[in-house]
């Protein structure tokens, strides 16, 4: 599942390859991935637009066009491939194709079909969904322990699902939440509102540390996720708890456990991580 580091690697990989190229055609093989506008309007409006930049907020890719922006969320297993228009591939899971003016195509591949696309006017997208639903990243100066404490002061659920929500602090998915909580020495079932300013600051500090390190290593290539153009990450070799069920903790040698927290598979060390 692509999280902030993986989406950032996709952005960095695609950006220099797409800038200044014009979209001359579009093929949509699954209508439900187009969330706005209608499929017919989407096809009409995107043709003739030049890709001027590829940006990102949280786990949302933002293709900056002339008059519009294309917002792309990869969800569980979405990925992009930039290939020559005559290159033969397995089309089974290709859901959308943007034809470019350089005889290449940007092909969106998604086996789970959970990805989404919004085409919105460039002067409006920051004022409407989905952009306005995404909170600041851990790197943002706005994200302080006081900010989180104020937002979560009445949050009576486990910290694991709280960190997976993207509206208050964005960018962390299932893999990195497990890792952040391990480094912060916080049990994933700790009640959010019980955490102190110091503990929340530890979450922020470790989120920044882990995300930065993962970006440097090309993200995590776990299960079916790899970056576009065959770029493979190596952060999975740094994982302390995630996927390490029944293996010894690197710090205390206690056996790593796996439980379900709000229906999400969750890995932790029962000795190192304290429940609050």
| Known active-site residue 238 | no
| Known active-site residue 59 | yes
| Known active-site residue 105 | no
| Known active-site residue 138 | no
Marked catalytic residue, from 3, 8, 77, 137: 3
Marked catalytic residue, from 59, 107, 160, 244: 59
Marked catalytic residue, from 35, 185, 208, 264: 264
DSSP code string of the chain: ---HHHHHHHHHHHHHHHTTEEEEEEEES-GGGEEES-HHHHHHHHTT-EE-EEEEETTEEEEE-SSEEEEEE-TTT-EEEEEETT----GGGEEEEEEETTSEEEEEE-SS---EEEEEETTTGGGSTTGGGPPPPTTSTT--HHHHHHHTTT--SBHHHHHH-SSSS-S--HHHHHHHHHHTTB-TTSBGGG--HHHHHHHHHHHHHHHHHHHHTT----TT---GGG----GGGG-SSTT-TTSB-TTT-PBPEEEEETTEEEEE-TTTSB--
Task: Enumerate the active-site residues.
Answer: 2-3, 59, 264
């Amino acid at each position: 599942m692509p999280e902030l580091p993986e989406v950032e690697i996709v952005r960095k990989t695609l950006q220099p390859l797409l800038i200044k190229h014009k979209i001359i055609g579009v093929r949509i093989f699954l209508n439900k991935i187009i969330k706005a506008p209608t499929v017919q309007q989407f096809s009409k409006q995107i043709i003739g637009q030049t890709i001027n930049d590829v940006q990102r907020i949280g786990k949302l890719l933002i293709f900056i066009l002339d008059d519009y922006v294309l917002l792309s969320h990869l969800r569980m297993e979405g990925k992009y491939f930039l290939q020559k228009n005559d290159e033969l591939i397995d089309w089974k899971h290709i859901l959308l194709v943007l034809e470019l003016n350089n005889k290449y195509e940007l092909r969106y591949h998604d086996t789970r079909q959970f990805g989404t696309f919004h085409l919105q006017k460039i002067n409006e997208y920051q004022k409407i969904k989905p952009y306005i639903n995404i909170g600041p990243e851990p790197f943002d100066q706005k994200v302080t322990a006081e900010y989180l404490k104020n937002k979560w002061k009445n949050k009576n659920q486990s910290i694991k699902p709280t960190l997976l929500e993207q509206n208050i602090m964005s960018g962390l998915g299932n893999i990195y939440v497990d890792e952040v909580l391990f480094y912060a020495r916080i049990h994933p079932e700790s009640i959010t509102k019980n955490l102190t300013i110091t503990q929340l600051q530890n979450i922020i500090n470790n989120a920044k540390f882990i995300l930065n390190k993962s970006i440097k290593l090309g993200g995590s290539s776990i299960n079916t996720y790899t970056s576009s153009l065959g770029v493979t990450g190596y952060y999975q070799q740094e994982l302390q708890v995630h996927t390490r069920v029944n293996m010894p903790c690197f710090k205390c040698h206690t056996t790593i456990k796996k439980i379900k927290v709000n229906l999400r598979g969750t890995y932790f060390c029962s000795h190192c991580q304290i429940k609050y």
